[in-house]
Amino acid sequence: MSKQEDGEVGTNITSTNKAVDRRSYLKSAAVGAAGVGSAALAAPSIAHAQNRTFRLKLQSNFTGIGIESQDRATRLFVERVNRMSGGRIEITNFNAEVLLGIGETFRGVSSGVAELAITAPIYHRGIVPVAEYLWAVPFFPFTNLEFYELIYQYMGIKEVFQEAYRPHNVAHLTYVCSDEWGAMVSTRPVAKYADFRGMKVRAFGIWADWLVHNGASIVTVPGGEVYTAIQTRILDAAAFGSPDAWAGMKMHEVCKYYINPSVVPYDVTEVIMNQRVFNSMPPDLQEVMISASRVMNCDISALTIPTDVRGRKRLADGGMQTIMIPDDELVRAADWCWNRFIGMRGRIPFVDRVIDIYSNARQVYKDYYGPKRLPV
């Protein structure tokens, strides 16, 4: 990845306020003069990269299926990249399933079918197994943007993403807060987790394991096909998106029940890019891609608030009833899911690092947010 990314890691930051003494200045100047010849040799390739217009195909797994926050944030991202690059990067967004299906996205970016994608790590867990745990661990206290910024930027999660993807010719540009995941829609009332027994459910990861533990059967379908799958009784219930997503997909037409709370307040999606294309960009355009992606994360985090408010109202107006899972059920599920997660230690590459980071982060969350919690 680029030098700009390395400089963001908290433990590697060095002060830039130190004065430069005369001896150091003269020494660096001499080295610079000696390097003029080699720099001149590299100049044509640098100039070519600077003058080139990069036209990128973006496959989004989440636009065009009724999720307003994703549609708006992606449009702003495309426009922002073009402005920040002075027109040297032109992105064309392709809605979900147009260029690449959800399960094809990671390999498609690796091979260059699309140079760029907005996707989710869970979709390529078969290629990069640790991606499942980078995507979501149920009940992990990822409840706000600043907490995950700490984990990602300064506690080592960014480096895990980058190192795990690099051998596949995929550059990980940023994580994205994708809004709540795991607040499920259902055709049947679910007052406790045992009520999932005998139901066909769309779910992933450790949450799917928990539902199977409670007697459910897991059926995998793309998010955009959940409506049809429930309508045709392929599914009885599903975890996929936020109230905004469910309302945009008109799920109240086929599901009567909304099962709260979400077991993942934010699941992690991401922006990925073909590594060779990223490496071919001059440093300033690499920084455009990284910074614009990071701003898009802020856009989505903000936009989900009003869109989810509207989404909940639309679902209720459409006749959907909200059921709250009792606290004792949530505690039991949280303990089971965490033990399932830490039980992965030593089983797949990178997972030990993720377990250590998440364990440390859970304690940080408790120590910081516990004393600050206000009564509600």
Say yes or no to pLDDT of 8 above 70.
no
pLDDT at position 23, please?
Answer: 46
- Separation CA 329–CA 341 (nearest Å): 18
Output the CA–CA distances (angstroms, integers) from residue 156 to 131, 273, 299, 358, in the order listed. 14, 20, 23, 10
Backbone phi and psi for residue 48, each to the nearest 5 degrees, phi listed first = -60, -45
Contact present, 66 and 245 (Cβ < 8 Å): yes
pLDDT at position 294, please?
Answer: 97
- Separation CA 120–CA 172 (nearest Å): 11
- Separation CA 180–CA 243 (nearest Å): 8
pLDDT at position 107, please?
Answer: 98
Structural domain boundaries enclosing 326: 184-265+317-346
Say yes or no to pLDDT of 251 above 90.
yes
- DSSP assigned state of 179: -
Quickly count helices (H) and strands (E) in the chain. Answer: 15, 11
pLDDT at position 24, please?
Answer: 45
When pLDDT is cut at 50, 70 and 90, the band that residue 10 belongs to is: very low
- Separation CA 345–CA 324 (nearest Å): 33
In single-letter form, the type of residue at position 52 comes to: R
Give CA 114 to chain center in angstroms.
18
Q: On the CB side of 104, how many CA atoms lie within 13 Å of its CA?
A: 12
Contacts 24+ apart (CB under 8 A), 47-55: 49/280, 49/281, 49/282, 50/282, 52/88, 53/87, 53/88, 53/89, 53/90, 54/85, 54/88, 54/89, 54/90, 54/277, 54/281, 54/285, 55/90, 55/92
Give the tens place of pLDDT for each residue, 305-325: 999 999 999 999 999 999 999
When pLDDT is cut at 50, 70 and 90, the band that residue 5 belongs to is: very low
In a domain, residue 174? The reply is no
Give the tens place of pLDDT for each residue, 221-249: 888 889 999 999 999 999 988 898 899 88
- Separation CA 153–CA 10 (nearest Å): 7
- Separation CA 226–CA 230 (nearest Å): 6
User: Using alpha carbons only, what angle is made at residue 300 by residues 242 and 77, rounded to the nearest 5 degrees?
Assistant: 135
In single-letter form, the type of residue at position 147 comes to: F
Three-state secondary structure call for residue 238: strand
Higher pLDDT, 216 or 3: 216
- Tokens 């080699």, residue? 38
pLDDT at position 114, please?
Answer: 98
DSSP track, 253-316: GT--EEEES-SBSS-EEEEEEEHHHHHHS-HHHHHHHHHHHHHHHHHHHHHHHHHHHHHHHHHH
Mean pLDDT of the chain: 88
pLDDT at position 27, please?
Answer: 54
Say yes or no to pLDDT of 212 above 80.
yes
Higher pLDDT, 3 or 225: 225
**CATH code, domain with 339:** 3.40.190.10
Say yes or no to pLDDT of 82 above 50.
yes
In a domain, residue 254? The reply is yes
Question: What pairing do the DSSP bridges indicate for beta strands 116-119 and 257-260?
Answer: unpaired
Give the tens place of pLDDT for each residue, 24-77: 434 554 544 444 444 444 445 555 566 799 999 999 999 998 889 999 999 999
In a domain, residue 33? The reply is no
pLDDT at position 174, please?
Answer: 98
In a domain, residue 207? The reply is yes
Contact present, 73 and 299 (Cβ < 8 Å): yes
Question: What pairing do the DSSP bridges indicate for beta strands 237-238 and 184-186?
Answer: antiparallel
Say yes or no to pLDDT of 261 above 80.
yes
In a domain, residue 97? The reply is no
How many structural domains comprise the chain? 1
In a domain, residue 53? The reply is no
Give the tens place of pLDDT for each residue, 147-180: 999 999 999 999 999 999 999 999 999 999 988 8
Q: On the CB side of 95, how many CA atoms lie within 13 Å of its CA?
A: 10
- Separation CA 33–CA 29 (nearest Å): 6
Q: Which residues is 172 bridged to in the sheet? A: 272
In a domain, residue 368? The reply is no
When pLDDT is cut at 50, 70 and 90, the band that residue 271 belongs to is: very high
Least confident of 14-18, 36-40, 95-99, 188-192: 14-18
In a domain, residue 291? The reply is no
pLDDT at position 241, please?
Answer: 80
